[in-house]
Structure 1
Amino acid sequence: MNRICLCLPTDRACSATLTAIHREAAYAAGRFGVAVDLLVLDSCDESVRAEHARVLAALPPAHRVSVHHLGEEPQRAFLRRVIERARVPEPDRMLDLMLPSGVSYGACTNRAFLLAAALGCRSVHRRDSDSAYQLHDGEPVFPVHHELPWLGRPAAEASAGVTRTDLAPALAGRPVSLVGASFIGELSVDIAEIRRLDEAVYHDVVGLWAPADWPKERKRELVEESFTGAGTAPFTGDRSTLTLVDPMRVDMCNVAFDRDVYERFPLSPATDTIGSDYFLLHLVHDATLPGILHNRHIENFHTPERRTDAGFHAYQRRFVKFLLSMLHLNHVYDRLAAEGPALLDERQHLRTGRVAQLLRESARLDRAENIWRLDRCDTAYRKLGGRYEEFAQRLQPRRERLLAEAERDVEDHARLVDAWPALVDAARHTAPGHTPMAAPAHGGG
């Protein structure tokens, strides 16, 4: 029987989301006959984690659904066993890349990838704790409906099950490697207040994630499209396209990857950097691996914590670090696009060594463009005044450190890419180290 991993990383209270994602797991098992490992990677404090455990324990049993709820200590113990078995260089450093002390969107998903390998899953389906499922005719709109039928199968087979096909016939024999959609509702990045305060400042700041040499019109188009997802229109009926999926059309709260992708290449372990978990979307697209883009978009919302002073400053720092990361990532993305299908070997697998080489090249880029980005951010935030000006003042003495972190983050990504095959192989032979909350054989589903 096929096994899949439906994953929810969280560092916030999300009892309602846990209940909802369990329903999606039951839907997947009941409709598609798969075994579902519902994996909750919980980085919350002890009291919130205990509440999550109570919620999960009280859920009705679902046939072929096993719930795995791991706090950071069980995750760390699993990773130590994997790293020891893999015999990779600098094991303590590798553990820090897999489970850093700071927030890392890529690292939490990388842990899910290794745990999925340990559980024998053929795909990972990721959701986020600050999102919810749409309702249609009173029923939840589950993305797994589109993710499960075709993931990992040849694109030629999937063409009969989608609304339309926009894929070159030469790619029909390649596997469907990614299935995804986006979100509706609030901006995916919590910067809407900047736009309300000053539209011109918003355009200036958001435009900083584009390459510096782009013309103004192209930057303007990027700004208008950025972080808006699928807009606000609710779901009314299914549509799906077999295609090379545009990374701008997919959000990481609503995506599924085949194991031949994530078992070959990890996400960036960068800390305190929004968008650090999007690299695989670009890699799959540029390597010309087929995917399915559908319209079962998830509802996005922002949690109240980001509105506090501490939450505001932490989030704005993550946003600035995202802007700085783009110096390096834009360089890599340009070269991935240029190499295209040459990124695949004769078995249609990703040539990971070549991508790691591109990452290392990008770490040596001149800092001048990022110094310019920090200057523009400083001017923009001071113009907004209030707590934005205060943030700019706090940022000033940290400039050199931020520039160095942007370089180190891409070097760390390359280091993790080198170690990834050994880590995945070790994970396949390492038990997660806990007893899952599994439904009895007669459970409903």
Structure 2
Amino acid sequence: MQRVCLALPTMRACPDTIVDLAEEAAYAVATFGVEVHLLVLDTTEAAEFAKNAAAVASLAPTAGVFVHHLGNAEQRDFLLGVAERSGAAADPALLLDLMLPQGVAYGSCVNRLFLGATALGCTSAHLRNDDFDYQVVDGRKMFPIHHELLSIGKPAGEAVAGVSVSKLDPADADKPVMLVSGSFIGELNVDIGEIKELDPEVYRDLVRLWTPPVWPQEDRDAMVEVSFTGAGDEAFGDDESVLGVPDIWDVYMCNVALDHRAYEVLPLLPSLATLGSDYAVLHALVHAKLPGVIHKRHIVNYYTPERRIGAGFINYQLRFVKLLLSMLYLYPVYGGMIDLGPGMLDERNVLKVEPILDLVRGSAGWDRAGNEHCLDVVDSSYRKLGGKYVELADVVAERRQQLLDEAQEDAERWAVLIESWAGMVAAAREAGLGTGGPVGANG
């Protein structure tokens, strides 16, 4: 029986989301006859953790659905054991810090899900987030797992039968579908809409900082217009799915299924407090020209209130600044992936880690001048906005050297993790994560 992992990382109380995901898991079992492991990796504490645990305990038992709700202590024990048994040259304590750091780390939390899915013996990971809703049509929730399970892991030639539109090159028929994704509707997936309302020109100046600097200005401006918007306010129409080589703009990390042959090769950036650090494996699959499926079961993105006031505002906006700085090191990698194309694939049409690792190592020594300029623009832009953005500019200025150093260190630490990943995957597979319990029990 096919075993899949429906995966949720969370750093807040989200009992309603857990209930929704259990419903999606039950749908998958009833519709496709698979075994679903609902994996909730929870870094909350005390009262918030208790709310999530209560939601898990309240779920009605469902045959074929198994739940695993792991808090900080359980995750730490699992990951340290994996690091110690991995045979990696890196110190186990360093690997543990890359996987479970103190603070928000978008790539790290997904990497933990990847190892958890491997330990559970799953062949695919189906990623969601804790701040989304499903679209509802005629009273039915549009579960993305429907399109994901029709295609994920199959040879593309077989997946043709499960999509409404095929743009598959016949030469790619034997290549596996390792990526199935929808997008999102609703609010921007980066919470900077207020900047656009205050001053559209400042918004353009800031967002332009994350576009490739080698592009012509016209192309950079066009990228600004589509950045962070997803499918916009697109109303749900036909339940269409398209098979072919996806466009990177059509994939979204919180509404995606990945085959294990992708995430067991390439981990995501372990960058601390950096938006957008969880997309590297999607870039690798798309730029390698592997076929994937894009569907329209977009999730509905919404914001949680803590990111808009006080310390929460400062912390969130610093994650955006770190996103801008990270691109200095990511664009050489992504550009190299584009140049390599199918050259990133082995004879089985699976990603090869060596050429990607070479790109990552090469990017770590990139000249910082671009990021010096980036912070200059950030400072002047925030001060133009006034109000709380002046305070934000002061914080960025105080941490300028730290931010520059961290951006480079993140690239270096990613290389360490990639070098260690194969051993960690093997150790996770050997260790397992317990059989879990049916929905309604804490695994």
TM-score over 0.5 (shorter chain): yes
Structure 1 residue 165, shift from structure 2 partner:
1.6
Structure 1 residue 432, shift from structure 2 partner:
2.2
Structure 1 residue 290, shift from structure 2 partner:
1.1
2:38 aligned partner = 38
Structure 1 residue 139, shift from structure 2 partner:
0.9
Mapped contact 2:175–2:349 kept (Cα < 8 A)? yes
SS in 2 for 1:103: coil
Work out whether 1:170 is the aligned partner of 2:167: no
Could you list the per-position Cα deviations for residues 206-242 of structure 1 after superposition, in whole angstroms to 9, with x for gaps in the alignment? 0100122322211111111000011112323310111
1:207 aligned partner = 208
Work out whether 1:253 is the aligned partner of 2:254: yes
Mapped contact 1:155–1:172 kept (Cα < 8 A)? yes
Work out whether 1:239 is the aligned partner of 2:237: no
SS in 1 for 2:209: helix
Within 2, Cα distance between the matches of 1:61 and 1:23?
11
Amino acid across the alignment from 2:218: E
Could you list the per-position Cα deviations for residues 169-217 of structure 1 after superposition, in whole angstroms to 9, with x for gaps in the alignment? 2111100010001000000000000000000000000010012232221
Mapped contact 1:69–1:436 kept (Cα < 8 A)? no
1:423 aligned partner = 424
Within 1, Cα distance between the matches of 2:273 and 2:416?
19
Q: How many residue pairs were aligned?
A: 440
Within 1, Cα distance between the matches of 2:262 and 2:395?
40
- Within 5 Å, which residues of 2 pair with 1:16-27? 16-27=16-27
2:158 aligned partner = 157
Could you list the per-position Cα deviations for residues 378-415 of structure 1 after superposition, in whole angstroms to 9, with x for gaps in the alignment? 01000001111111111112111111111111111111
Mapped contact 2:32–2:149 kept (Cα < 8 A)? yes
2:28 aligned partner = 28
Work out whether 1:438 is the aligned partner of 2:434: no
Amino acid across the alignment from 1:71: G
1:7 aligned partner = 7
Structure 1 residue 437, shift from structure 2 partner:
3.3
Q: Which moved more, 1:413-422 or 1:215-224?
A: 215-224
Structure 1 residue 57, shift from structure 2 partner:
0.6
RMSD of the alignment, in Å? 1.3
Within 2, Cα distance between the matches of 1:322 and 1:61?
41
Mapped contact 1:136–1:236 kept (Cα < 8 A)? no
Q: Which moved more, 1:80-89 or 1:18-27?
A: 80-89
1:50 aligned partner = 50
1:222 aligned partner = 223
Amino acid across the alignment from 2:42: D
Amino acid across the alignment from 2:192: I
Within 2, Cα distance between the matches of 1:13 and 1:330?
35
Q: Which moved more, 1:391-400 or 1:201-210?
A: 391-400
Within 2, Cα distance between the matches of 1:427 and 1:408?
26
Within 1, Cα distance between the matches of 2:75 and 2:325?
30
Structure 1 residue 439, shift from structure 2 partner:
4.6
1:302 aligned partner = 303
2:387 aligned partner = 386
Mapped contact 2:119–2:428 kept (Cα < 8 A)? yes
Structure 1 residue 10, shift from structure 2 partner:
0.6
2:341 aligned partner = 340
2:70 aligned partner = 70
Mapped contact 1:332–1:362 kept (Cα < 8 A)? yes
Structure 1 residue 350, shift from structure 2 partner:
1.0
1:113 aligned partner = 114
TM-score when normalising by structure 1: 0.97
Could you list the per-position Cα deviations for residues 279-313 of structure 1 after superposition, in whole angstroms to 9, with x for gaps in the alignment? 11100011121110000000000001112211110
Structure 1 residue 9, shift from structure 2 partner:
0.5
Mapped contact 1:3–1:120 kept (Cα < 8 A)? yes
Could you list the per-position Cα deviations for residues 411-436 of structure 1 after superposition, in whole angstroms to 9, with x for gaps in the alignment? 11111111111000000111326x73
1:198 aligned partner = 199
2:402 aligned partner = 401
SS in 1 for 2:293: strand
Mapped contact 1:134–1:234 kept (Cα < 8 A)? no
Within 1, Cα distance between the matches of 2:341 and 2:413?
24
User: Please, which runs of 5 or more residues in structure 2 have no aligned partner?
Assistant: none
2:375 aligned partner = 374
Structure 1 residue 320, shift from structure 2 partner:
0.4
SS in 1 for 2:399: helix
User: Please, which runs of 5 or more residues in structure 1 have no aligned partner?
Assistant: none
Aligned structure 1 segments of 4 or more residues deviating by more than 3 angstroms: none
Mapped contact 1:83–1:94 kept (Cα < 8 A)? yes
Change (3 A) 1:363 1:439: closer
Q: Which moved more, 1:310-319 or 1:231-240?
A: 231-240
2:365 aligned partner = 364
Could you list the per-position Cα deviations for residues 34-89 of structure 1 after superposition, in whole angstroms to 9, with x for gaps in the alignment? 10000001111211111111111111111100010001110000011111111322
Change (3 A) 1:439 1:370: closer
SS in 2 for 1:209: coil
2:414 aligned partner = 413
Could you list the per-position Cα deviations for residues 348-387 of structure 1 after superposition, in whole angstroms to 9, with x for gaps in the alignment? 1211011011011011111111111110000100000111
Within 1, Cα distance between the matches of 2:29 and 2:308?
38
SS in 1 for 2:243: strand
2:268 aligned partner = 267
Change (3 A) 1:77 1:217: same
Mapped contact 1:10–1:129 kept (Cα < 8 A)? yes
Mapped contact 2:277–2:323 kept (Cα < 8 A)? yes
Amino acid across the alignment from 1:28: A
